[in-house]
Amino acid sequence: MKMTGAEILWECMVREGVEVVFGYPGGANMPIYDAMLNYPVHHVLVRHEQGAAHMADGYARASGKVGVAMATSGPGATNLVTGIATAMMDSSPVVFVTGQVAAHLIGGDAFQEVDVTGITLPITKHNYLVTRADEVAEVVREAFYIARSGRPGPVLIDFCKNAQVEQAEFVFPDEVKLPGYQPPERAPQSDLEEAVRLIEKAQRPVILAGHGVLMSGAEEALAHFAVKTQTPIASTLLGLGAFPASHELSLGMMGMHGEVHTNLAIQNSDLILAFGMRFDDRVTGNLKTYASKAKKIHVEIDPSEVHKNVRVDVPLVGDLKNVLTDLIQMVDEYDHDEWLQQINEWKVDADSRSIMNWPNDDNLYVAHLVTDIWKATGGGAIVTTDVGQHQMWAAQYYPLEKPNRWITSGGAGTMGFGLPSAIGAWFAHKDQEIWAIAGDGGFQMTAAELTTAVQEGANVKVAIMNNNFLGMVRQWQEFFFEKRYSAVNMLTPDFVKLAEAHGVPARLVTKREEVNEAIEWARRTPGPIVIEFRVVQEDSVYPMVPAGASLDQMLQRPERAVK
Amino acid sequence: MQYTFIALVENKPGVLNRVASLFRRRNFNIESLAVGRTEKTDVSRMTMVVDCPNGDVDAHRIEANLYKLVNVIDVQDVSRLPAVTRDLALIKVKAGPEKRAEVNSLAAIFRARIVDVAADSVIVEVTGTEEKIEGMTELLRPIGIAEMVRTGQVAMTRGANSGIRRMPGMEDSHYEDDYEVAEMTP
C-alpha cells in the first residue's frame, strides 16, 4: 500500500508500541503533525523542546519502554540537545524525531536549517538522516531496535520535509539488518569459570550495582546471587532501587556522597563484583587508590566500558541478567559473617553523626523534608530530581524498595530535569504517586512546563527546596575556594504566585510543624501541586569525598556545625 | 606510538564522519586514513594510522569505541603483525630538461615511475612503505618539489593471520597487561 513518509512513521511507531509522544510542531515537521491526527497516539505539547526530551526520558525510565520526543528543524532540534545528551549519559532509550528542510535544500542554509545529525553525532547511540519516503520504515524499525537493545540509548531521526510528504510502498520490515551491531548476550563459559574461582576465594566481597541491573531487568537475579553468596550490595546513584534498601545486605549508595560504611567496605574489600556500572569518577574517587586490595569482576554489556577507568581481572561481557543466571548455577552458598559484621560496625560509627539524629531546632533541613515525604508516601512514590544538593539528599534519604521509581540525571547532571521527567513518568504510571524534588535553581530552568502539567492534568507534586543558593556550587566554594561565594546567591521569584499564575495550587512552608500537613494536602489534592520549602541556606551534603581524593577520605558532618 | 587499524564498515553515507568524529571526541590524532571499497559492494575498508600515547590502553579504547559505532563491522589492530603496508605518492619535481636524467635515475632506484613530463617539471609516482616514500622525498627535495600528494597507508596482513582483536568477550580477544591508571582530574 502506498503511504506518505509521515504516515509510514506513525504506522511504524504504533507497531513499536508508541502510545504517547512529547513534542513541539514547526514548519519542518507539519506533515508529521498532520498525519498524527489519524493515529491512536497522544501528543503532549511542551513549552520548550528540552522539556519534551526530559519527559520522553522520564517516561522511558519509568515504563521500561522507548520514549519518543519530536521537534521541528533548526532551533527546535537544537533545544533538544541537552535532553539528548542527558539520555545518552544515562543510557535511556529515547527516539528523537526532528523535522528537517527538504533534501534538495540541505546544505544551502535554508530557513531553520541546522546540521542536526552533525550536532547530535557524539550524543546519540546512532542517528539517521532520512531523505526519501522509501527509507522511513527501515529506519524507524532500526531506530527503536537500537534504542532499546544492548546498552540502551537515544537514537535520532532527522526527517526531511520532502520525505514526509512523498509516497512510498509501505512494508514493515520483519527484521533489522545491522551487520555491525550485535549486542553481546552471554559471557563465554571460560570467563564465567574464572569469575567463579575468584568468588569462591573471596573473604570480603562487595557487589556494585549500577543502572545496568534495572536496564537488564536483573533485580531478582541480583537478589538471588547476593543472598546465595552472602555478598553485600552497594548502589550507584542510578542503581538505587535495584535491590531493596531495607535488606540486610543493602549498603546504600557509594561514591562522592555515599555512605561512610559503603565506601569503607569498597576500599577494604578483596573482591569487587561490578554489575552494570561504569566506574564513573563520582563513584571511584582517586583511581590510584581505588579498592586497591580487591580483585575485580566486571559484568558489562558495553565492551568499551571494560578496562576504561579501572583495570579489571575478569570481564564478563554480556547481558547482566543472563550472566547472573549463569553464575547463580555455578556458585555455592557462602557466608561472610565476619565481613558483614565489620561493615556494620563502620555503619554504627557513621550513624552517630547523622543529621537524622539531631533534635528539632525548627529549621528546615532537606534531609528531614525528604524523610517526611518518604514517610508520608510509604516510600512507594516515583521520585524525580533536579541536580545538586537536593538530589544527593533525596538519594540518601528516600530509600527505595522497588526498581524504576528513582529518576534522576546522573551522568550528565542536567539541571531542570526534575519537573519534566516527572510529567513523563506520570504518563507511564498514572496510578502512582509522583514527586519531583527540585532546587530553586534547577526548577527555574524548566518551570514553564508547569503549564504542560496543567494542560495534561499530570498528577505530579513538586517540592522546591529553596535555599536561595546554587547549593552544591556554594558548598564547593565553601570547602575548596575559601568560602569566596561567586555567583551562587540567587534571587528567586515568589514560587507560590508563579505556580498559581500557571494554575497550580501552591503553598509556602517555612516552619517544621507545617511540613506534614502541606505534604498531606499535596497528596490529597488532584493534579499538579507546588510546595516551596524555605530550607537552611548554607547546609552541606555529607559525607563527601572531595573530587580527586581517595574514596575513604570522607568529610563527615561536623557535630552541629550548621548555624 | 603509532598503531595501524583496519576497519570494515558499511558502505553508507556519513560513516567516515562517524569514525573521524570518534577520534576527535576521544582526542586521538589520526596520522593517516585511507578508505576504499572492498570486494563486497556494501562494505568499505578503512586503514587508520593513529598516534596512541598510552600504547595498548589507547589501542583498546579505540577498538572498543569503533565497535560501538553501529556501522562498523570488524576492527583489527595490525600494528605489530607481519603485514604488507603501502602508501602511494605523486611528486611533482621542478625539473627542466637538464635535470630529467637525474630524476629518472633516482626513480629507477626506488622503482618509481615518471608518469608525466612537462617543459619545467615531471610527476613521479612512487608506491611503497612510508619509509621508502620518505627516502625518495628527501632525495628529490634538493632538486625542488613543487607539489606532493599521498594516499595514506593501506595495510593487509600476510597469510591467514588476522589482526589483534582486543574486545573483551570476543572469542580470540586478548588484553595486554601494561595498564597504567590514568591521573584523575578533579
CATH number, domain of B109, equals 3.30.70.1150
Residue B170 has pLDDT above 90, yes or no: no
Buried (b) or exposed (e) across A264-301, using 16+ Cβ within 10 A?
A: bbbbbbbbbbbbbbbbbbbbbbbbeebbeebbbbbbbb
Q: Residue B43 belongs to what domain range?
A: 2-82
| pLDDT confidence of residue B163 | 83
pLDDT tens digit sequence for A180-220: 999 999 999 999 999 999 999 999 999 999 999 999 999 99
Three-state DSSP at A132 gives coil
CATH number, domain of A212, equals 3.40.50.1220
Q: Is residue B159 part of a domain?
A: no
Counting the structural domains of chain B, the total is: 2
Give the best residue of A135, A178, A307, A320 to mutate against chain B (max B CB count within 10 A): A307
Of A316, A349, A382, the residue at which a domain comes to its end is: A349
Do A387 and A510 lie in a common domain?
A: yes
Query: Chain A: nearest CA to B61, how far in angstroms?
Result: 6
| pLDDT confidence of residue B186 | 34
Do A142 and A287 lie in a common domain?
A: no
Counting the structural domains of chain A, the total is: 3
Do B96 and B78 lie in a common domain?
A: no
Do A160 and A275 lie in a common domain?
A: no
Comparing CB atoms, the residue among A118, A146, A307 nearest residue B60 is A307
Chain centroid offset of residue A296 CA: 25
Q: A149 touching B, CB under 8 A?
A: no
| pLDDT confidence of residue B173 | 59
Distance set, CA B161 to CA B5, B77, B81 (Å): 14, 12, 8
Dihedral sign of CA atoms A9, A164, A24, A88 in order: positive
Q: Residue A12 belongs to what domain range?
A: 2-169
Query: Chain A: nearest CA to B72, how far in angstroms?
Result: 5
Q: What is the CA radius of gyration of chain B?
A: 20
Do A274 and A405 lie in a common domain?
A: no
B17–A121 CB contact, under 8 Å? yes
Three-state DSSP at A435 gives strand
A180–B167 CB contact, under 8 Å? no
Distance set, CA A194 to CA A199, A201, A280 (Å): 9, 11, 25
Stretch A69-76: mean pLDDT:
98
Q: What is the CA radius of gyration of chain A?
A: 24
ipTM of the complex: 0.86
| pLDDT confidence of residue A560 | 61
CATH number, domain of A82, equals 3.40.50.970
The distance between the two most distant Cα atoms of chain A, rounded to a whole number of Å, is: 73
Comparing CB atoms, the residue among A122, A180, A285 nearest residue B21 is A122
Phi/psi of residue A490, nearest 5 degrees: -125, 125
Confidence class for position B116, pLDDT limits 50, 70, 90: very high
CATH number, domain of B75, equals 3.30.70.260
Phi/psi of residue A214, nearest 5 degrees: -70, -45
Q: C-alpha angle with apex A540: A344 to A509, nearest 5 degrees?
A: 105
Write the single-letter amino acid at A470.
Answer: L
Q: Considering only CA atoms, which of B95, B82, B135 is closest in space to residue B111? A: B135
Phi/psi of residue B156, nearest 5 degrees: -150, 130
List CB contacts of A280: < 8 A, sequence separation 6 or more: A236, A255, A309, A410, A411
Q: A301 touching B, CB under 8 A?
A: no
pLDDT tens digit sequence for A330-386: 999 999 999 999 999 998 776 666 777 777 788 999 999 999 999 999 999 999 999
Q: Closest-CA residue in chain A for B62? A: A304
Q: Is residue A550 part of a domain?
A: no
Q: B134 touching A, CB under 8 A?
A: no
Do B6 and B78 lie in a common domain?
A: yes
Stretch A514-540: mean pLDDT:
97
Q: Is residue A541 part of a domain?
A: no
Contact A198, A40 (CB under 8 A): no
Q: Is residue A243 part of a domain?
A: yes
Q: Is residue B177 part of a domain?
A: no
Q: Is residue B39 part of a domain?
A: yes
| pLDDT confidence of residue A302 | 95
Do A360 and A344 lie in a common domain?
A: no
Do B66 and B111 lie in a common domain?
A: no
Do A432 and A299 lie in a common domain?
A: no
Do B9 and B76 lie in a common domain?
A: yes
**Residue tagged 569503607 (cell numbers):** A264
Question: Cα separation of B73 and A410, whole Å?
Answer: 31
Q: Is residue A563 part of a domain?
A: no
Question: Cα separation of A10 and A32, whole Å?
Answer: 8
Do A333 and A380 lie in a common domain?
A: no
B168–A317 CB contact, under 8 Å? yes
User: Which residues share a beta bridge with B83?
Assistant: B157
Q: C-alpha angle with apex A281: A340 to A408, nearest 5 degrees?
A: 85
Do A385 and A340 lie in a common domain?
A: no
The three state secondary structure string of A134-181 is HHHHHHHHHHHHHHHCCCCCCEEEEEEHHHHHCEEECCCCCCCCCCCC
Confidence class for position B80, pLDDT limits 50, 70, 90: confident
Q: Is residue B121 part of a domain?
A: yes
Do B60 and B88 lie in a common domain?
A: no
